[in-house]
Structure 1
Amino acid sequence: MANQTIVTEFFLQGLTDTKELQEAVFLLLLLAFLVTISGNLLVISLDFFHVFLEATEFLLLTPKACDHYIAICQPLCYLCVMSNRVCTWLILTCCLAGFSFIIVPVILTSQLPLCNTHINHFFCNYMPLMEVVCSRPQVLEVVAFTLAIEALVSTVLLITISYVQIIQTIVRIPSVQERRKAFSTSSSHIIVITRCYDSCFFMYVKPSLGKGVDFNKGVSVINTIIAPLLNPFIYTLRNQQVKEVVKDLIRKMAWIQNK
């Protein structure tokens, strides 16, 4: 027992001593490592960009309402006010605001300890993620709730002011046909706003756990699947030119079948 040797160094022998095989194994493992890193970064980016683009799309509803206000209430000034430069700045502002609204909750959430690997949802959303957190910090809930309220209140206020002015202007139009045309122009946007704000209210402003997570999944289906499916019909089928094209296509198909 007194003649024991204390080992202080280790030498890794590797997978093989053959030089040709060492190079091949090195390239193979390097490729696998790069694919692994790229795949994980892609998944993390898709969690991030889903929330970022969702927030940006939500904020873009406000400039759209302002665009309708200028087009209906100030038509002679439309080309001067809604120039390409202004539209570009509005889009960039919405993107920056969407990023600023989500970056703080994302950073705070990424530092939370998780006690479970099964998330009761079909994507990594805030509410179901809180179900697997070991301890829910009060500051995260306050920050997320405050940002959601701030986004909702500010955008709802601007959109409401815009559409109050739009409705007042449309009512004063003497021609019935022109009034119907003006209402048709704004109705598709109003439908999208109603659908978006209703779902966002139930998902983020009322963050209850338990049964609320199951309800959250149902609302998320509307946002991620049903809403993109309905948007083309909401936006395009109210356009007169699109209606004429669809009718012409139906007539041609009926003529071909009868022939």
Structure 2
Amino acid sequence: MPVDMRNGTTVQEFILEGFPAVQYLGKALFLVHLLAYLASIAGNAVIVAITCVDARLHTPMYFFLSIFSFFECCFTSAVIPKLMAIFLLGRQTISFAACFIQAFVLVFLGTSGFLFIAVMSLDRYMAICRPLHYPTIMNLRTCFLLVTSCFALGFTLITGLVVKVSQLYFCGPNIIHHFFCDLGPLIHLSCSDTKSVEMLAFILALFILSISLIITVIAYSQIIVTIVHLPSAKERQKAFSTCSSHLIVLSLMYGSCIFIYVKPKQTKRLNFNREAALVNTVVTPLLNPVVYTLRNKQVHQALKEAMNRIKIAR
């Protein structure tokens, strides 16, 4: 051990560094992140609500999209309010327990989310490449089973890792060079020998991202091949437009997470991790409602009819 554990002082709270280089712009950054947060929550909440109330959207695709939007609401709500408090009030402290709860929630939601992306890709593959078998295979029972499996597998994979990190010895310093509690910076602060924990985190991140990415790439490759062979040029253009938008968001998500987590030594590039993490916590949740559903004509029609019903009710 690098220090004598008997003489060490156990850390009771951590300090989230945030973005010290731009902290003097705190009020302006608070407003920017508040607007982004509200827009993200509103957009994703609209998707969930309109999917529930409109019977025409009671299909596997929109069911998965509504669950994914719920994921995004939870994920951003676990991060952005604390970041806004740092910008506006300078409240950077977080208790030991709260820090690890936040870390668990974020990693659990992130893991389940990436597994869920793979499921969504398979759903699109079945709908486009195997349309005759799609209604039979993707029934309500299958959809619920897939969603439950993503949650269960994410919980199983992550719980042991978070518990293992929480059992490390923290004797100081207690400054986390990030704007939320993430496992990498926490491991970096430990006074214990962290080689085995770092390797476990690396293997899990590599496994989760690789499995999800491989399934997604194979599914979309088959989708693109099918689209190319569509007889109508208009249908091909429409399908490619939708797929390209999806792939842009997926590239941002996978790219930023691979940059942050898939490296065996967590002490490297911690400062750059903050910028990459902003992509996952602010940018992609804001883009997802636009890319996945709000550009969809069925959703547009459902929204118009819902607004008309509200106007009539008044």
Instruction: Could you tell me which runs of 5 or more consecutive residues in structure 2 were left unpaired when the two chains were aligned.
Output: 1-94, 305-314
Q: Structure 1 pair 119/41, CA: closer, same or farther in 2 (3 Å)?
A: closer
Q: Does the CA-based 8 Å contact 2:260-2:273 persist in structure 1? A: yes
Shift of 1:180: 1.9
The 1:64–1:245 alpha-carbon spacing in structure 2 relative to 1, beyond 3 Å, is: closer
> What is aligned with 1:11?
none
The 8 Å contact of residues 118 and 215 in structure 2, kept in 1 or not, is answered as yes
Q: After TM superposition, give the deviation of residue 154 of structure 1 in Å.
A: 1.6
CA distance in 1: counterparts of 2:160 and 2:205, whole angstroms: 12
1:158 aligns with 2:215: yes
Unaligned runs of 5+ in 1: 1-38, 248-259
What is the Cα deviation at residue 199 of structure 1?
A: 0.8
- Alpha-carbon distance, 1:136 to partner: 3.5
What CA distance in whole angstroms lies between the structure 2 residues aligned with 1:132 and 1:42?
A: 16
Q: What letter matches 1:240 in structure 2?
A: K
Q: 1:78 aligns with which of 130, 134, 139?
A: 134
Residue correspondence of structure 1 range 122-141 to structure 2 within 5 A: 122-141=179-198
Q: Do residues 234 (structure 1) and 234 (structure 2) align?
A: no
Answer whether contact 2:114 2:209 (CA < 8 A) is retained: no
Is the 8 Å Cα contact of residues 184 and 267 (structure 2) preserved in structure 1?
no
Offset of residue 244 of structure 1 = 7.5
* Corresponding residue of 1:168: 225
Q: Which structure has the larger Rg? A: 1
| Matching residue of 1:177 | 234
Distance across 2 between alignment mates of 1:209 and 1:186: 34
Q: Which residue of 2 aligns with 1:213?
A: 270
In the alignment, the residues of structure 1 paired with residue 128 and residue 189 of structure 2 have an alpha-carbon distance, to the nearest angstrom, of 50
**Structure 1 CA distance, aligned partners of 2:262 and 2:268?**
15
SS in 2 for 1:105: helix
2:160 match: 104
Which TM-score applies when normalising by structure 2? 0.61
Paired letter, 1:62? A
* C-alpha distance in structure 2 between counterparts of 1:243 and 1:88, whole Å: 26
TM superposition score normalised by structure 1? 0.73
- Three-state SS of the structure 1 residue aligned to 2:283 is helix
Distance 1:161 1:210, change over 3 A: closer
Q: Is contact 1:56–1:97 with CA below 8 Å preserved after alignment? A: yes
Residues 62 and 159, structure 1, Cα contact 8 Å, conserved in 2: yes
Q: How many residues align?
A: 209
- The answer to whether the 8 A contact 1:203-1:219 is kept is yes
Q: Secondary structure at the match of 2:175?
A: coil
Higher relative contact order (CA 8 A, sep 6+): 2
C-alpha distance in structure 2 between counterparts of 1:141 and 1:40, whole Å: 20
